[in-house]
């Protein structure tokens, strides 16, 4: 490859320039997100059953649907949330299934389950993932009294939503906040009776007539014609004039008005009541592109609707823009730190120039390849490039250094020195690159969550290494023609840095050589054994004592500036009650200098996943955006404590959960600590959950303990006396049909010109749905035409029941959730397991379903990947060096770097986690690259010297480049270790491990690789 490109200058530079230009284009236009999408394919089935309790929804709707979905291939988990009027079933599939295939399979399963569902139950299918979370939430409120919230809802549904959906960058728009428009009909039972009508007769007539009906077509000699009956009445006056009996209009017996459905949801944005519009991206779409398109259109909407106030009340944009800007700044700092280290170790401006030009070329070359393969930019990709800096610089410096040696020591002319000097190091550079890639490569196929979150990091590292290798053997030799055209003399500044190096790190060469002489003295075998046993003892002591102290996490907590809260008032509270109780808190919240915006969603709405899905009217989900952590003094967890204390002062508050955005590594995990109790019967689950919650309460590090549902909903139970009812010719079903307090949906009324539709709902006039005494006095008509009060046929009593019921894996379930600050999840979980031993859980299945599940699975997979990488690496090295001994020697020194890695995590106060395991892989890659260079030079010297002298010379010659690579890489990792970007808290353990491991591992590599190399050299 070197000869081919070196003698084709135009091709070489054309290729480099092309990659640079494509890289710039990619940096500008590639999708930008915070982290890679890592949610499993999830399908949600929402079924509305008017008037059904949670118990009825669970048994008659969720259960049949769950049974069919559970039979599907590659299904991972099936669960459901059941509340009054709604069944929400969630099916989570393995990654390999794919979102589209999962949706098709669930749709087929629903076709089978439909025959088992109650009449009128029409399940709707929705796909869910990271794209479900709103990119922007826009709050619509009125600037004056001319527009009411129902008016705003109508405008949002009928005009603004279709307008936004017409823009190609916007994936979806969900409208939330109650006040869904409807044509409400209040039937006067006395007037209806005058005409021989009752509720059911009126309902049936309206249902049958208020709709368009295609009748067929006519085809004959005169042509082809469609035949249609248009019965849909699109305005109030038309509905009023519907005939419900001969010569009887609907307006004669009922009051018809345009209004809104009974409210079970509400919204408050930035402390003000309003209608929310959640703008979402398509799967795989760019958050910033969607945000840019939304805000552009928002400015146009402000002009078009001057009486409506548009406010952003939640956004992902600020977080991602800040993170991306921070990462570019961190990359800039990493380059500066790396060049400073290079100058210190090499004292060579030519090397600085070469590295200074190579780094941006590698950066944009890597971005170009990612762009061409349809990738995206996120913190993980930027981190990979920063991590690779030290290794990237090393390739260029090795080539440059060897060319300089050929000029100054071998006394070759410039062209010969460039060619021969480059060829001489092709093998070690290639071997080091291959070795680094080989050890990391298995992680790309580790499977499940670790693969999806870290594959971009590993693939970016591999691309960067390959681009660096290419540039080091093509661009650097060409650049050398200009750098060395005036010779290799050093100026004063370079000589100053040379003296500085020799007076510091250069002094360490002699002690290293002395250690090698010590191992080759009398009783050499015992001396080597002493050093080996000593370092192994240090390794065992360090790992065995530090790891239990630091604990484990799947991913460490991070301060994103976004706080989430889930609060629950009394189960019988209306949305209006919850909103009123929330207002004092929101007034206080927006007085805090750290807070920029807030979004509060009460209850749930059919088909809306991004806000309030599965919540009761008495529940609220709060999203609070704060200024980023570089612009405030308080940590996110301090602000959370203040918010938690303030929420506890609210009137009628029952439970409070306050936690940071991204508190769990995956959205499907409910809480860091999740104790799930399952049973075939739901009645006693809340009682057991209370006992578990009490046992978990004293655990250190938990900020809240809550249970997912309870039996605290005050229900009115209608107990019909069947015997008495039958004596009047009535059945319980016939009586139930005459209690239409839920507002029966009769039809959909639409207007083509405005694209608006609304339900036509029939209610019985009076306060039957609001007042218990009115309900008791409701008149029930018998087949004989007599009327009896409801209390003559039934007793109405109060009863505590379940407002919400959950199911998991075909069993009824309840979760006891615990949120934390920063204490490792393994410590919390082990304390929870001990606490649960004090609770008698006989007859129940109690399992841990929090972060610990993902942690154990991820660690098992990643440790297997590391082991696989080491095995493949050993085979690769044996093949490259044609020596089993040398191949294994380089492998044996890898675990020694874990001494520094463990101390690094302890000193930086970070738990063992997935990023730290990635750090170990990266650490092994750098250590093995340095070991390869040592062994390669050992073999070169071995051709003319003894094994021991070859070992000494390899240390003497390679000490400076090895130390420069290690400390150059450390310098590049400083911005990551110092968490100089929002979101880097998640990845900083990677740098902490690598920094600690490189410091110790490099020092030990320079002793043990040459010691084992000459010690096991058979050709002595």
* Residue 69, domain CATH: 3.30.70.1430
Phi, psi of 410 (to 5 degrees): -80, -15
Cα–Cα dist 69/67, whole Å: 6
pLDDT at 71: 94
Residue 550: helix, strand or coil by DSSP? helix
Cα–Cα dist 286/265, whole Å: 30
Q: What is the DSSP string of 338-349?
A: HHHHHHHHH--H
Pair 56, 116 in one domain: yes
Pair 481, 497 in one domain: no
What are the pLDDT digits (tens) for 174-231?
A: 999 988 888 788 887 778 878 888 777 787 787 777 666 676 777 777 777 777 666 6
Question: Within 10 A of 299 (CB to CB), how many other CB atoms are there?
Answer: 9
In a domain, 171, yes or no: no
Parallel/antiparallel/unpaired status of strands 223-229 and 756-764? unpaired
Pair 433, 503 in one domain: no
Pair 18, 44 in one domain: no
Closest C-alpha to 316, from 637, 597, 619 = 597
- At residue 884's C-alpha, the angle toward residues 881 and 887, to 5°, is 60
538: CATH: 1.20.1640.10
Q: pLDDT confidence of 809, banded at 50, 70, 90?
A: very high
pLDDT at 699 over 70: yes
Pair 389, 499 in one domain: no
pLDDT at 737 over 80: no
Write the CB contacts of 273 (distance below 8 Å, at least 6 apart in sequence). 141, 149, 266, 267, 579
pLDDT at 391: 67
Q: Which of 454, 470, 488 is the last residue of a domain?
A: 488
Instruction: Report the run of H or E that residue 799 belongs to, with start and end.
Output: strand 794-801
pLDDT at 770: 59
In a domain, 945, yes or no: yes
Pair 447, 468 in one domain: yes
The alpha carbon of 7 is separated from its chain's Cα centroid by a whole number of angstroms, namely 49
Radius of gyration of the chain from its Cα atoms, rounded to whole angstroms: 36
pLDDT at 692: 95
pLDDT at 764 over 70: no
Write the CB contacts of 887 (distance below 8 Å, at least 6 apart in sequence). 874, 875, 877, 878, 880, 881
In a domain, 244, yes or no: no
Q: What is the mean pLDDT of residues 734-755?
A: 54
pLDDT at 627 over 90: yes
Write the CB contacts of 837 (distance below 8 Å, at least 6 apart in sequence). none
In a domain, 807, yes or no: no
pLDDT at 822: 86
Phi-psi region of 371 (alpha: psi -120 to 50; beta: other; left: phi over 0): alpha
pLDDT at 691: 94
The strand pairing partners of 186, in sequence order, are 255, 763
What are the pLDDT digits (tens) for 272-296?
A: 999 999 999 998 888 999 999 999 9
Lowest mean pLDDT among 130-139, 162-171, 308-317, 514-523: 514-523
What CA–CA distances, in Å, run from 669 to 90, 323, 611, 612, 821? 13, 24, 18, 17, 16
The alpha carbon of 502 is separated from its chain's Cα centroid by a whole number of angstroms, namely 49
Question: Within 10 A of 189 (CB to CB), how many other CB atoms are there?
Answer: 21
Q: What is the DSSP string of 553-614?
A: -SS-----SEEEEEEE--TT--HHHHHHHHHHHHHHHTTSTTEEEEEEEEE--TT--SS-TT
pLDDT at 749: 44
Q: pLDDT confidence of 750, banded at 50, 70, 90?
A: very low
Pair 360, 434 in one domain: yes
Q: What is the mean pLDDT of residues 38-65?
A: 89
pLDDT at 354 over 60: yes
Lowest mean pLDDT among 232-236, 409-413, 862-866: 232-236
Cα–Cα dist 715/802, whole Å: 9
- Rounded to a whole number of angstroms, the distance between the first and last alpha carbons of the chain is 36
Helices (H), 198-247: 199-209, 236-240
Beta strand segments in 339-442, E: none
What are the pLDDT digits (tens) for 877-909?
A: 888 888 888 888 888 888 999 999 999 999 998
In a domain, 771, yes or no: no
What is the rounded average pLDDT for all residues in the chain?
A: 87
Closest C-alpha to 756, from 160, 332, 204 = 160
* Core vs surface per residue 650-668: b (16+ CB within 10 A) or e: beebbbbbbbbbbbbbbbb
pLDDT at 135: 94
pLDDT at 164 over 90: yes
pLDDT at 911 over 70: yes
Q: pLDDT confidence of 580, banded at 50, 70, 90?
A: very high
Residue 152 token pair: 């705003």
In a domain, 445, yes or no: yes
**Is-contact 276 601, C-beta < 8 A?**
yes
Pair 357, 456 in one domain: yes
Which residue matches tokens 């479900």?
Answer: 132
Q: Tabulate helix, strand, coil % of the chain (nearest 5).
A: 55, 20, 25
pLDDT at 755: 39
pLDDT at 882: 81
Residue 558 token pair: 């991070």
pLDDT at 77: 93
Q: Which of 100, 128, 156 is the last residue of a domain?
A: 128
Which residue matches tokens 């590993």?
Answer: 458
The total number of structural domains in the chain stands at 3
Domain that holds residue 496: 490-550+883-1019
Name the more confident of 920 and 198. 920
Q: What is the mean pLDDT of residues 52-67?
A: 90
Q: What is the mean pLDDT of residues 467-484?
A: 86
- For residues 318, 323, 328, 333, the Cα torsion angle rounded to the nearest 10 degrees is 120
Q: Which of 437, 455, 488 is the last residue of a domain?
A: 488
Pair 480, 500 in one domain: no
In a domain, 462, yes or no: yes
What are the pLDDT digits (tens) for 335-349?
A: 899 889 888 888 888
Pair 509, 388 in one domain: no
Pair 926, 1015 in one domain: yes
In a domain, 774, yes or no: no
Q: What is the mean pLDDT of residues 147-157?
A: 92
Closest C-alpha to 199, from 578, 734, 637 = 734
Lowest mean pLDDT among 82-91, 314-323, 734-743, 999-1008: 734-743
Pair 51, 22 in one domain: no
- At residue 363's C-alpha, the angle toward residues 359 and 366, to 5°, is 135
pLDDT at 625: 95
């Amino acid at each position: 490859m070197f000869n081919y490109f070196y003698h084709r200058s135009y091709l070489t530079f054309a290729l480099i320039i092309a990659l640079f230009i494509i890289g710039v284009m990619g940096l500008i236009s590639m999708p930008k997100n915070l982290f890679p999408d890592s949610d499993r394919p999830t399908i949600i089935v929402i079924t509305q059953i008017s008037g059904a309790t949670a118990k009825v929804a669970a048994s008659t709707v969720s259960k049949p649907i769950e049974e069919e979905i559970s039979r599907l291939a590659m299904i991972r988990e099936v669960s459901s949330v059941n509340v009054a009027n709604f069944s929400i079933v969630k099916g989570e599939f393995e990654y390999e299934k794919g979102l589209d295939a999962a949706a098709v399979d669930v749709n087929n399963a629903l076709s089978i389950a439909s025959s088992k569902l109650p009449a009128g139950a029409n399940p709707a299918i929705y796909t869910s993932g990271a794209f479900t979370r709103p990119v922007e939430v826009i709050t619509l409120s009125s600037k004056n009294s001319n527009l009411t919230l129902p008016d705003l809802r109508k405008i949002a549904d009928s005009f603004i939503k279709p307008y936004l959906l017409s823009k190609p960058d916007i994936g979806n728009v969900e409208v939330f906040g109650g006040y869904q428009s409807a044509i409400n009909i209040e039937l006067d039972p006395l007037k209806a009776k005058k005409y021989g009508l009752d509720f059911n007769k009126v309902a049936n007539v309206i249902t049958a007539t208020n709709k368009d009906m295609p009748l067929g077509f006519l085809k004959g000699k005169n042509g082809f014609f469609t035949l249609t009956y248009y019965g849909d009445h699109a305005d109030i006056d038309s509905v009023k004039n519907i005939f419900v009996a001969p010569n009887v209009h609907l307006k004669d017996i009922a009051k018809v008005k345009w209004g809104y459905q009974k409210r079970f949801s509400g919204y408050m944005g930035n402390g003000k009541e309003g209608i929310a519009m959640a703008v979402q991206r398509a799967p795989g779409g760019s958050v910033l592109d969607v945000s840019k398109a939304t805000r552009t259109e928002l400015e146009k909407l402000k002009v078009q609707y001057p009486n409506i106030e548009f406010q952003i009340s939640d956004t992902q944009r600020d977080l991602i823009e800040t993170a991306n800007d921070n990462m570019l700044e961190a990359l800039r700092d990493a380059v500066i730190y790396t060049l400073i280290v290079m100058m210190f170790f090499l004292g060579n401006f030519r090397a600085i120039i070469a590295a200074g030009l190579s780094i941006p070329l590698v950066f944009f070359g890597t971005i170009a390849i990612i762009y061409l393969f349809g990738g995206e930019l996120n913190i993980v990709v930027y981190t990979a490039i920063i991590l690779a800096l030290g290794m990237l610089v090393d390739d260029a410096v090795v080539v440059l250094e060897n060319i300089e040696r050929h000029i100054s020591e071998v006394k070759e002319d410039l062209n010969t020195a460039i060619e021969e000097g480059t060829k001489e190091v092709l093998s070690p550079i290639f071997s080091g690159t291959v070795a680094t890639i080989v050890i990391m490569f298995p992680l790309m196929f580790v499977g499940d969550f670790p693969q999806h979150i870290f594959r971009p990091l590993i693939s970016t590292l591999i691309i960067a290494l390959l681009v660096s290798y290419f540039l080091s053997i093509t661009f650097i030799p060409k650049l050398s023609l200009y750098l060395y055209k005036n010779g290799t003399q050093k100026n004063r500044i370079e000589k100053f840095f040379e003296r500085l190096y020799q007076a510091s790190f250069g002094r360490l060469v002699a002690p290293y050589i002395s250690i090698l002489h010590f191992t080759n003295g009398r009783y050499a075998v015992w001396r080597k054994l002493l050093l080996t046993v000593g370092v192994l003892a240090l390794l065992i002591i360090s790992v065995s004592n530090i790891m239990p102290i630091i604990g484990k996490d799947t991913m460490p907590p991070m301060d994103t500036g976004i706080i989430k809260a889930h609060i629950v008032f009394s189960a019988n509270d209306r949305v209006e009650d919850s909103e009123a109780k929330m207002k004092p808190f929101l007034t206080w919240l927006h007085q805090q200098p750290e807070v920029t915006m807030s979004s509060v969603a009460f209850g749930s709405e059919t088909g809306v996943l991004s806000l309030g899905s599965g919540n009761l009217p008495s529940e609220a989900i709060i999203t609070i955006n704060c200024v980023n952590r570089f612009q405030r003094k308080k940590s996110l967890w301090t602000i959370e404590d203040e918010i938690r204390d303030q929420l506890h002062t609210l009137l009628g508050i029952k439970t409070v959960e306050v936690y940071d955005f991204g508190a769990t590594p995956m959205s499907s995990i409910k809480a860091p600590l999740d104790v799930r109790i399952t049973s075939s019967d739901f009645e006693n689950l809340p009682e057991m959950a209370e006992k578990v919650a009490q046992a978990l309460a004293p655990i250190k590090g938990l900020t809240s303990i809550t249970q997912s549902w309870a039996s605290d909903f005050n229900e009115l139970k209608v107990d019909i006396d069947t015997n008495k009812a039958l004596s009047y010719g009535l059945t319980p079903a016939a009586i139930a049909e005459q209690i239409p307090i839920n507002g029966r949906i009769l039809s959909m009324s639409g207007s083509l010109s405005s694209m608006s539709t609304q339900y036509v709902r029939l209610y019985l006039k009076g306060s039957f749905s609001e007042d218990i005494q009115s309900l008791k006095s409701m008149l029930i008509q018998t087949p004989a035409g007599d009327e009896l009060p409801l209390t003559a046929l039934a007793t109405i009593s109060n009863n505590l029941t379940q407002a919400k019921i959950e199911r998991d894996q075909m069993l009824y379930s309840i979760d006891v959730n615990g949120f934390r600050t920063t204490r490792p999840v393994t410590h919390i979980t082990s304390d929870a397991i001990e606490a649960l031993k004090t609770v008698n859980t006989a007859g129940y299945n109690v399992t841990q379903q929090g972060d610990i599940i993902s942690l154990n699975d991820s660690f098992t997979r990643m440790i297997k990947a590391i082991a696989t990488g080491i095995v493949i690496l050993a085979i690769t090295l044996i093949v490259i060096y044609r020596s089993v001994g040398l191949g294994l020697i380089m492998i044996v020194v890898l675990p020694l770097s874990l001494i520094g890695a463990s101390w690094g995590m302890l000193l930086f106060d970070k738990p063992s986690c997935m990023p730290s395991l990635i750090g170990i892989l990266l650490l092994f890659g750098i250590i093995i690259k340095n070991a390869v260079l040592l062994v390669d030079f050992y073999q070169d010297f071995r051709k003319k010297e003894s094994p021991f002298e070859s070992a000494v010379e390899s240390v003497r010659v390679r000490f400076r480049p090895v130390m420069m690579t290690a400390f150059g890489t450390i310098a590049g990792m400083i911005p990551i270790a110092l968490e100089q970007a929002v979101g880097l808290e998640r990845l900083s353990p990677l740098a902490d491990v690598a920094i600690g491991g490189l410091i110790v591992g490099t020092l030990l590599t320079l002793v043990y690789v040459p010691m084992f190399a000459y010690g096991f050299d058979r050709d002595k």
